[in-house]
A and B are shown apart, each in its own frame.
Chain A
Amino acid sequence: QQQVKQSPQSLIVQKGGISIINCAYENTAFDYFPWYQQFPGKGPALLIAIRPDVSEKKEGRFTISFNKSAKQFSLHIMDSQPGDSATYFCAASMNNYGQNFVFGPGTRLSVLP
């Protein structure tokens, strides 16, 4: 119940294309769903996050789509650029007297020039 599943494991996209990464969860107590971007040798950087009371959130080229009934959420990267090549992690947490984040296994994105 504490797992977050993420797919695909790796993704190759042409420059200018749309990158889509999907995540699914089981625990309905989760109330915060962030996406993190990680470059090799660096810590994860917060990209964008959503709460279950909205179905979509957009920040620049990054959009989260959230489907509460299906317990799924996805990250869309529009106009993908080579600089977006990194590993992306979805995560979920619940505010139960502290924040305990459960991360997905990650998606390695490669954007070809």
Chain B
Amino acid sequence: DAGVTQSPTHLIKTRGQQVTLRCSPKSGHDTVSWYQQALGQGPQFIFQYYEEEERQRGNFPDRFSGHQFPNYSSELNVNALLLGDSALYLCASSLGGSSEQYFGPGTRLTVT
């Protein structure tokens, strides 16, 4: 039973560029949430996707956007990268309205 997978593992981008991160949910899960975790801090909720639509959104600017595909996998896109976007980006999956979320290993984004 495959858990949550994310790609790539690490990424280095230059300020102003755009980045796309990918997530495949745990088998059987249909809901994907994205979090940003700065070094030494707890994860911060970005948004959640269900049935290919954004269902909830945290306090993040429009530079952060996402997409969910029919197979429930998801992408996180960040435009006009800032140095402050450097963080570990975590994807979590769950089933429908379930509270149990399972996290992937994350993508470490470094913006220089």
What is the total number of residues of chain A having a CB less than 8 Å from a CB of chain B?
25
Question: A35: shortest Cβ distance to chain B, in Å?
Answer: 12
What is the total number of residues of chain B having a CB less than 8 Å from a CB of chain A?
28
Query: B50–A98 contact, CB under 8 A?
Result: yes
Number of A-B contacts (CB under 8 A): 69
Query: A34–B103 contact, CB under 8 A?
Result: no
Which of B4, B43, B98 gathers most chain A CB within 10 Å? Answer: B43
Query: B55–A44 contact, CB under 8 A?
Result: no
Query: B97–A44 contact, CB under 8 A?
Result: no
Does any Cβ of B come within 8 Å of A89's Cβ?
yes
> Which residues of A does B touch, CB under 8 Å?
6, 32, 34, 36, 41-46, 49, 89, 91, 93, 95, 97-106
| 18 A-B residue pairings within 8 Å (CB atoms) | A42-B105, A42-B106, A43-B90, A44-B43, A46-B102, A95-B99, A98-B31, A98-B50, A98-B56, A99-B33, A99-B99, A100-B45, A100-B56, A100-B58, A101-B35, A101-B101, A105-B41, A106-B40
